[in-house]
Amino acid sequence: MKTDDLIDMLAKNVEPAERPQWRMRMMLTLLGGLAIAVALVLTFMGMRPDIGTATWPVLLKAGFSAAAAAIILPLAMRLMRPGAPIGWRMAAVLIFVGVSLLATFIALMGMPSEARMHAWMGGGFPWCIVLIPIFAAPAAALMVWLARSFAPTRLTLSGAAIGALSGGLGAMAYAMYCPVDSVAFVTTWYVVGIAICATLGAIVGSKLLRW
Amino acid sequence: MADEAELRALLLKGLAGDEAAHRKFLTEAAALLRPYFRNRLRGAPEDAEDLVQETLVALHTRRDTYDPNLPLTAWMYAIARYRLIDLLRRKKRRGDHTAIDDLEIGDADPAFEAGDAKRDVTRLLAKLPEKQRRAIELVKLQEHSVEEASKLTGYGVSDIKVSIHRGMKALMKLMAEESAA
């Protein structure tokens, strides 16, 4: 088929394009991913037993995770469209990481030196860096499916953004179980957990997001 | 050759359902894409024309990803560049980090007639699932409207539209697979 004939075929009886409603579909995807993550945490980990007295720390941790997701969202949305400049969106993510580091430092400096290690590590291995990616995985799968109906052209970066965004959702759900409430723990290991999600996303992005 | 503003206006009219504008947009886009690909695939004008066709189908099926607040040519060339990278990846000529800007610019073969692609899209259409193929044949190749195609096949009107859209996306995939083979 000659190119002119192909053009004829594409143009013939062309329908008005429906408004794609990306924002609505993204919101639904985020809600769906979060709901699955919450269900997984409740099923396999359970709500922390002292939730009655620990409501505020849980809300703060979930809020921190939600803030991370909200700051990654504009970048992830941008990367799904061809040729749209990223601009400040990447800088916002880096600033968030910087502020988290700073908060870790300030929180640790504000306590006696012998208590610092425990506050930072949470008294053991920070399991959230393993569990956050696991709870984020279903949200990531939903988001990949959404992204493929857009037209991402920078697949590695898109994969990283999708990974980080779903990591934020996974961390929100994980906060219901997470027994460690120290600021330095959250601002370090939640961020590391989300960064691991971003790394995994970058690795698989160039395969899964092809169209 | 059309400039940014003209191309953008044509695409937006096409998005609103203006067939003539959409045809003009695709024709102008092809004229811009041809030298773009030829310059980047030296000595392989048939590969270049394959990519022109593949990219036209991509621009058509993904046209709703264009954000009217952003430059149209950035959108178009981002898709073109992606199709080229995807081809290069498929061919495994280079690693995953192909820098397109580093590719040497070669001479386009002046004797090669614009519009001749190596592969035949008509043959690829035959590989589509029956419903998609029928819908595309009736509406996009023959002179039937969507409503007539619905009556002829017994499928609903929106079913026909969805089948055409999915069929076009599947067609682009087939084109991409074949050009890398």
DSSP structure string for chain A? --HHHHHHHHHTTPPPPPP--HHHHHHHHHHHHHHHHHHHHHHHT---TTTTT-HHHHHHHHHHHHHHHHHHHHHHHHHTSTT---THHHHHHHHHHHHHHHHHHHHHHTS-HHHHHHHHH-SS--THHHHHHHHHHHHHHHHHHHHHHS--S-HHHHHHHHHHHHHHHHHHHHTTT-----HHHIIIIIHHHHHHHHHHHHHHHHHHT--
Is residue B106 scored above 80 in pLDDT? no
Number of compact structural domains in chain A: 1
For residue A10, being part of any structural domain is answered with: no
* Residue A145: domain span: 57-208
- For residue B122, give the nearest of A1, A17, A153 by CB distance: A1
Chain B CB contacts of A10 below 8 Å: 22, 26, 56-57, 60, 140, 168
Find the residue in A nearest to B26 (Cα).
A7
For residue A52, being part of any structural domain is answered with: no
User: For position B132, which CATH number holds?
Assistant: 1.10.10.10
- For residue A13, give the nearest of B19, B78, B86 by CB distance: B19
For residue A153, being part of any structural domain is answered with: yes
Distance CA B122, CA B141 (A): 10
Predicted pLDDT at B177: 86
For residue B102, being part of any structural domain is answered with: no
Predicted pLDDT at B178: 83
* Residue B153: domain span: 120-181
Chain A CB contacts of B122 below 8 Å: 1
Distance CA B181, CA B177 (A): 6
Count CA atoms closer than 13 A to B132's CA, side-chain side.
16
Chain B CB contacts of A18 below 8 Å: 64
Stronger pLDDT, B114 or A10, i.e. the higher one: A10
For residue B63, being part of any structural domain is answered with: yes
Chain B CB contacts of A4 below 8 Å: 27, 115
Task: Mark whether B16 and B79 lie in a shared domain.
Answer: yes
**Cα of A87 to nearest chain B Cα, Å:** 13
**Cα of B161 to nearest chain A Cα, Å:** 8
Percent of chain B surpassing pLDDT 70: 86
* Other Cβ atoms closer than 10 A to A161: 31
Predicted pLDDT at B1: 66
Mean pLDDT across chain B: 86
Q: CA torsion sign, A51 to A54 to A55 to A59?
A: negative
Q: Tokens for B112, please give them.
A: 């090669």
